[in-house]
């Protein structure tokens, strides 16, 4: 019997985050596919070359575990060298962004200052906007194509291969799990580290699957026989409306009605987050140079207010860039206290505390959990209210039993 390779094993055990680092590093042996239920996941070639690639690629996989010892910060949310409530000074960037456009503004500033020659990020796939693709942009137009949230499976670390093969320095933008895998890749390869001098993480509460996206389109009233031309999850104000543009069966282009972010995320998308997202320990990008999220401690008054971003400098390089962007007038910013993450994202505080209980339940079913180190997970669980403690364990046990989560994940329905 052929022994399962370590990348396929990570997928089977519900440990894969879909970051794409393995496929980016070994594109001839590992490819990413879009499974409608399980998300964007790697498939390893059934060959000696595929196994050899997987044996090497597993060292890049943050899904199987990461060492947060030097990156936990005082409260488990990563180091904070500086924090600001900010927005892009550029009105178009601010409007297009999911919150204040800070990610796009900082990336464009890094390009224009010559700090990097490209920016690796994700954008909607032109032929099917329900899906995402990894791209490397070199100008404003390319960055604007990726502006705004994409609440769908994405694998930005697929760009690692192109970065390694190129000569230009590249900034990397991704979810916390994507940045964690890129950090592992940089740690193992000094030449790659020199080519990736800047990483920006976007706060994340989990990535829904394609089933969720199709449910959203149904809610937006997009006909089944229509061709989707654009799908906006957020942006054009803060937090923005979820809205689709499509071509109907008669060839007429139309815009769907828009629905509020809280409706689209809270009642449609979040229920289809993958299991690995529900046991994630890093929602705010502890390994990044800069992290950006929503400042929900100062919530918008409507659905399309002028946006604001919470910007957190994690490293000396990140701190220099943010301060330079503020000094240059690229960002309009107001300093925040270093403990602002917990205030701005109280839902993530609760999620962090629940992880230890959820993983305890997994162990009870004989399931493998990520080998994360250096985070105060048990302490975060202990401070939860008694009801939340019980729910994190008993509720997880019920979910595991109901969904048979101990069964091996098999990837199919590739797109």
pLDDT digits 0-9 by tens, 348-376: 888 888 999 999 999 999 999 999 999 99
Q: Mean pLDDT over residues 214-235, rounded? A: 96
Q: Mean pLDDT over residues 234-245, rounded? A: 94
The pLDDT score that the predictor gives to residue 352 is 85
**Would you tell me how many other CB atoms lie within 10 Å of the CB of residue 2?**
6
Q: For residue 150, give every residue at least 6 positions away whose Cβ sits within 8 Å of its Cβ, in sequence order, or none.
A: 122, 123, 124, 132, 233
3-state class percentages of the chain: helix first, strand second, coil last, to nearest 5: 40, 20, 40
Under DSSP, the state recorded for 77 is S
Q: For residue 320, give every residue at least 6 positions away whose Cβ sits within 8 Å of its Cβ, in sequence order, or none.
A: none
Would strands 290-293 and 198-202 be described as parallel, antiparallel, or unpaired?
parallel
Q: 284 and 291 in contact (C-beta within 8 Å)?
A: yes
Closest CA to 180 of 314, 312, 304: 314
- Strand intervals (E) in 140-191: 170-174
Where would I find the H helices in 226-345? 261-264, 275-278, 316-327, 340-344
Instruction: State whether residue 331 is helix, strand or coil.
Output: strand
- Whether 237 shows a pLDDT value over 70: the answer reads yes
Would strands 198-202 and 170-174 be described as parallel, antiparallel, or unpaired?
parallel
Euclidean distance between the first and final Cα of the chain, in Å?
29
Query: By mean pLDDT, which of 14-23, 152-161, 249-258, 348-357 is the weakest?
Result: 348-357
Name the CA dihedral angle for 280, 106, 123, 97, rounded to a multiple of 10 degrees: 90
Closest CA to 233 of 85, 92, 97: 97
Residue 1 pLDDT level (bands cut at 50, 70, 90): very low
Tokens of 323: 């301060």
Residue 288 pLDDT level (bands cut at 50, 70, 90): very high
Tokens of 60: 């890049």
Distance of CA 186 to the CA centre of its chain: 18
Q: Mean pLDDT over residues 173-183, rounded? A: 98
The pLDDT score that the predictor gives to residue 2 is 57
- Whether 79 shows a pLDDT value over 50: the answer reads yes
Tokens of 153: 């499976």
The reported pTM is 0.96
Tokens of 314: 């994690």
The pLDDT score that the predictor gives to residue 75 is 81
The pLDDT score that the predictor gives to residue 392 is 96
Percent of the chain with pLDDT over 90: 91
Residue 74 pLDDT level (bands cut at 50, 70, 90): confident
**Average pLDDT along the chain:** 95
Q: Pick 322 or 348 by higher pLDDT.
A: 322
Q: Mean pLDDT over residues 15-21, rounded? A: 98
CA distance 361 to 364: 5
Q: 232 and 148 in contact (C-beta within 8 Å)?
A: yes
CA distance 120 to 94: 20
Q: Mean pLDDT over residues 2-22, rounded? A: 94
Query: By mean pLDDT, which of 27-31, 295-299, 344-348, 370-374 is the weakest?
Result: 344-348
Would strands 118-125 and 82-88 be described as parallel, antiparallel, or unpaired?
unpaired
Give per-residue pLDDT as tens, 49-62. Answer: 999 999 999 999 99
CA distance 197 to 229: 35
Instruction: State whether residue 332 is helix, strand or coil.
Output: strand
- Whether 414 shows a pLDDT value over 70: the answer reads no
Q: 327 and 108 in contact (C-beta within 8 Å)?
A: no
């Amino acid at each position: 019997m052929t022994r399962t390779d370590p990348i396929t094993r990570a997928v089977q055990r519900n440990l894969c985050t879909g970051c794409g680092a393995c496929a980016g590093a070994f594109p001839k042996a590992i490819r990413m596919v879009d499974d409608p239920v399980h998300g964007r996941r790697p498939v390893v070639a059934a060959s000696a070359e595929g196994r050899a690639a997987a044996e090497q690629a597993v060292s890049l996989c943050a899904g199987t575990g990461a060492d947060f010892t030097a990156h936990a910060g005082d409260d488990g949310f990563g180091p904070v060298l500086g924090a600001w409530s900010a927005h892009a000074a550029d009105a178009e960037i601010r409007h297009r962004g999911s919150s204040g456009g800070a990610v796009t503004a900082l990336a464009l500033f890094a390009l224009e200052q010559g700090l990097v020659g490209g920016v690796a990020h994700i954008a909607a796939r032109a032929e099917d906007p329900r899906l995402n693709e990894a791209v490397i942009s070199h100008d404003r137009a390319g960055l604007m194509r990726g502006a705004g949230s994409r609440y769908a499976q994405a694998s930005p670390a697929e760009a690692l291969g192109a970065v390694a093969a190129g000569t230009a320095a590249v900034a990397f933008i991704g979810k916390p799990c994507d940045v964690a895998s890129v950090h592992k890749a940089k740690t193992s390869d000094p030449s790659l580290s020199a080519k990736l001098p800047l990483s920006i993480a976007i706060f994340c509460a989990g990535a829904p699957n394609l089933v969720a996206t199709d449910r959203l389109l149904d809610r937006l009233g997009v006909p089944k026989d229509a061709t989707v031309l654009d799908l906006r999850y957020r942006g054009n104000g803060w937090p923005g409306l979820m809205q689709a543009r499509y071509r109907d069966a008669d060839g007429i282009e139309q815009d769907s009605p828009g629905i509020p972010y809280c409706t689209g995320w809270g009642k449609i998308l979040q229920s289809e987050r993958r299991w690995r997202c529900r046991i994630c320990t890093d929602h705010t990008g502890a390994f990044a140079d800069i992290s950006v999220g929503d400042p929900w401690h100062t919530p918008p008054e409507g659905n399309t207010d002028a946006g604001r971003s919470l910007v957190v400098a994690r490293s000396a390089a990140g701190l220099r860039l943010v301060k330079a962007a503020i000094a240059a007038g690229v960002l309009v910013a107001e300093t925040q206290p270093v403990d602002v993450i917990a205030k701005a994202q109280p839902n993530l505080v609760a999620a962090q505390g629940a992880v230890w209980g959820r993983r305890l339940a997994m162990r009870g079913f004989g399931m493998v959990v990520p080998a994360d180190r250096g985070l105060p997970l048990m302490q975060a669980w202990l401070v939860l209210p008694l009801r939340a403690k019980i729910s994190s364990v008993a509720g997880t046990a019920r979910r595991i039993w109901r969904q048979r989560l101990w069964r091996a994940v098999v990837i199919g329905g590739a797109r």
